[in-house]
Amino acid sequence: MQETLSSAESTELVRLWRRRQTLSSNDMGTMYRIVGDALVACNPPELQILGEGRQELVAQFIYVKVLRLDADPDEADERASHSAPSTAFALCAYFRRYLIDCTRASSFRRKLSIGDQITEAQLEDEIGAGDDLDGCLAEHGLSAQAVQLAARAFIAELPEPERILLCEGFGKEAEGGLSGIASRHAIASYHYRAGRLGLVHKREGLTADYAKTRLGGWIQQTLGIAIEAENMAAILQVFKILGAEASYA
């Protein structure tokens, strides 16, 4: 267990923290590793209260509060140079504050991880079992067949680790969730990969920041569906088609 940061890790953490909105993918991976390792020995009582998987809570904390992928750029820039933690103790305090906020937020209890919880029934409940698929997508100049072809191309272009996480975690809802998939296929940093891909998120948090994930970028840039609340019906239809294609890939 790591309870303290080395001098080099502390310096690197502060450096990366102060420019969180302009990090490269490699920098994000480094920051994720440093924070994740520092929190290994951090076990606030709120972890038991929430009853959620510890690894997923840590991953959500890193993406939402550390990397601030859901932050408004102006707000993030304003705060970037302030309160940069340099110790494992400070990171644990930040993590506990996040968990306390989660216990207070009713939206947290409705959290949904696409990778291992979306089912056919849930999608139909959300968009209506009798809704016409093409009718929903036609508002965005799409058809079910067009989305199917785009989904196949998207899956084929993914790096192998991400493709496995998507196809087994999204399409087939494999036993053990993302953790089980990563273990079976020896996928390193699977939470980081799943987060960047877009498999770990809150349903009600699917806003503009989701476009920064690989899935969100595909939906917005390739399919032309803006990541906005009013487009959720079409987005869920896309997820439904993608899930079906992933299950066959």
141 or 67, which is more confident? 141
Q: What pLDDT is attached to residue 2?
A: 47
The predicted model gives 25-40 an average pLDDT of: 89
- As a whole number of angstroms, the distance between CA 117 and CA 176 comes to 11
Contact 16, 31 (CB under 8 A): yes
Q: What pLDDT is attached to residue 69?
A: 63
**pLDDT > 90 in the chain, percent:** 12
41 or 177, which is more confident? 41
| pLDDT at residue 114 tops 60 | no
Residue 143 token pair = 């058809």
| Low-confidence winner among 48-62, 108-122, 190-204, 233-247 (lowest mean pLDDT) | 108-122
142 or 112, which is more confident? 142
Q: What pLDDT is attached to residue 201?
A: 62
| Mean pLDDT rounded to a whole number for the chain | 76
Q: What pLDDT is attached to residue 196?
A: 86
The predicted model gives 42-52 an average pLDDT of: 75
166 burial (CB, 10 Å; 0-12 / 13-18 / 19+) is: buried
Give every CB contact of residue 115 below 8 A, 6+ residues apart in sequence. 165, 169, 170, 177, 178, 194, 199, 200
Render pLDDT for 163-219 as a digit per residue (tens, 0 to 9). 888 888 775 555 667 777 878 888 888 878 888 888 876 544 566 678 888 999 999
Q: What pLDDT is attached to residue 96?
A: 84
Give 183-221 as a 3 state SS string.
Answer: HHHCCCCHHHHHHHHCCCCCHHHCCHHHHHCHHHHHHHH
**pLDDT > 70 in the chain, percent:** 72
